[in-house]
Amino acid sequence: MVAKEGIKVREMCMTLGRYDSLWIFEAPDEKAAMKVAMAGTDLATFETLVAIPRDEAMKFFE
């Protein structure tokens, strides 16, 4: 399903604390990301964050 939605998984990490894992991926848009996240809602809970590379974000302060 991930490939079908055009999502590229960049990294999967196991974590300690509030969450057990972290997936870093690129999706064509928020709708594709939510479709994949919602497919697993019976197995886990999710928190989705949109991230912007630091250099790109700093342009807002110029």
Tens digits of residue pLDDT in 19-45: 888 888 889 998 888 887 777 667 777
Report percent pLDDT > 90 for the chain: 21
Q: Give the total number of structural domains in the chain.
A: 1
Higher local confidence (pLDDT), 35 or 13: 13
Residue 34 placed within a domain: yes
- pLDDT at residue 55 in the model: 95
Report percent pLDDT > 70 for the chain: 94
Contact assessment for residue 59 and residue 30, using Cβ atoms and an 8 Å cutoff: no
Residue 39 placed within a domain: yes
Higher local confidence (pLDDT), 59 or 39: 59
Q: Can you give the residue range of the structural domain that contains 18?
A: 8-61
- In single-letter form, the type of residue at position 56 comes to E
Contact assessment for residue 28 and residue 6, using Cβ atoms and an 8 Å cutoff: yes
Residue 2 placed within a domain: no
